[in-house]
Structure 1
């Protein structure tokens, strides 16, 4: 049996529901022994002050209430502020740890603690939001060396390939933060990028119509009517790759295009192809429908605790 991939998830968990679907499928992969969730760092600011409770509610739903959930220390002038479309409903209607965002620990300190406790080259980071927590970690004196020693790799949902502007890299002035994070990232630790154009084609969410009530189902009801219309799976693709890689179960899911991502201060990315480059962005090696079906089955799988 393979050793579970040690995952540290960084999510905005704000207006879109793919974050909720991604965390759900990560828990299912953990139920199957493929992953271990070390902690969840939350970025951005929910104007309701509750998006950390969505993470906690999903953790409770899957029987893992002990997973630490921490918030970006940035203030409103330093990071995007948006009202979550589902945090208030989930805070009021589902079990969670009872904390509001302002009461949660510092996400950068959580990164530092979890990485310090980890074995060398053992942690995989999955970033499915803004890169503020990572930028702030790397701005610490000990940050780059800690990442270089402890992190095996990072999968980032961000950018458009081979070039373009994308929400996570440049929403509400986040371009300089994106640029700072990627320029400070140690070159010895590989980055895999999931582009907007890839996740946009992988539509999931409608299977929640037949699923029991849950925080994820509620998120898909409230965000863009995604339970009926479906929603692109940007964040789920990132989690899927981080845990299962390019190949799994006899199937090649993705092709990796090696090179280096160049980021401007506006957050625009431009890919510099290089077969020997340290990083890569992904292209689909299967049909979008085949990947969507596999991801959606994971998203709606009941918690293993329900069958105990």
Structure 2
């Protein structure tokens, strides 16, 4: 069943909070490149990047990317070292430590994680300062930070409980989560913190738009386009990290990129959507969509749109 995802007003820049488990997969990095380019084109106001991966290198890595793109003022929030996936991953430390002729190519500040606020606290700060019904949340990792925000108490930033603050300030939340295809399974972003996902999908007060695993799996990012856009290869942190993540050549799934594209350009109708319904999370992490009255929608992919979507993803990642 097809529904309609209402476009945000394009009269002003969207205010964005981006929550990521960067370091686990490389699609987060490509999604970050998209947001940086949208920011530089003044299509969005990226207020904060919050991290749901419990490894401190994530803060150093994102600060390096912010700096490389000339956007050092974007605030960073961190889940802390108690949370999902505390390993360092396959590309963050490797990119930060990359040297040529005995010199590091990229900025590294290993202790920076000690200087940033907890993720949900930064989210509360941004929401409290924003006009009512003006913030879009994009979540491409676990639901951990969202669950903390949802259950948060009044603080120095707002006298409102978390759920009330969300209701007052957030337009919609866009998530990469779950699997709604023909052969469903417990999807990574859900299964790494099932309890948080259950809490969020049960209690979140505003609309949630979800790009399931099957969407990004059907759209592989063409690595050759990345290499032709950045012929300096190892000197660009996005390509450097892409090289470190897996042995080249490979075309990675675009899971996180699809939800960023839909959040920022809903008016372009790259994807279809279900009617509004309810997403339920089983205790084993399985996701089920019921087309009953609710505030949840899942994205649908028309195979005829694949080339158009991939072309736009390449444009937004490379800014070419």
| Distance in 2 between residues matched to 1:8 and 1:152, nearest whole Å | 12
| Distance in 2 between residues matched to 1:15 and 1:143, nearest whole Å | 28
SS at match of 1:33: coil
Alignment correspondent of 2:211: 194
TM-superposed CA distance for 1:165, in Å, is 1.5
Alignment correspondent of 2:169: 150
TM-superposed CA distance for 1:14, in Å, is 1.4
How many residue pairs were aligned?
288
| Distance in 2 between residues matched to 1:202 and 1:267, nearest whole Å | 24
Quick check: 255-264 or 113-122, which moved more?
255-264
Match of 1:26 among 11, 32, 35: 35
Q: TM-score normalised to the size of structure 2? A: 0.85
> Any residues of structure 2 matched to 1:96-245 within 5 Å, and which?
99-141=111-153, 142-161=161-180, 163-171=184-192, 174-186=193-205, 189-206=206-223, 207-210=225-228, 211=230, 212=232, 213-225=235-247, 228-245=249-266
Kindly name which structure, 1 or 2, has the bigger radius of gyration based on alpha carbons. 2
Alignment correspondent of 1:305: none
TM-superposed CA distance for 1:98, in Å, is 5.5
Q: TM-score normalised to the size of structure 1? A: 0.88
| Distance in 1 between residues matched to 2:244 and 2:307, nearest whole Å | 24
TM-superposed CA distance for 1:97, in Å, is 5.6
Match of 1:287 among 305, 308, 312: 305
* CA root-mean-square deviation: 1.8
Which blocks of at least 5 consecutive residues in structure 1 are unaligned?
303-308
TM-superposed CA distance for 1:100, in Å, is 3.9
- The structure richer in strand per residue is 1
Alignment correspondent of 2:282: 264
Which blocks of at least 5 consecutive residues in structure 2 are unaligned?
1-9, 98-104, 154-160
Contact 2:31–2:256 (CA under 8 A) maintained in structure 1: yes
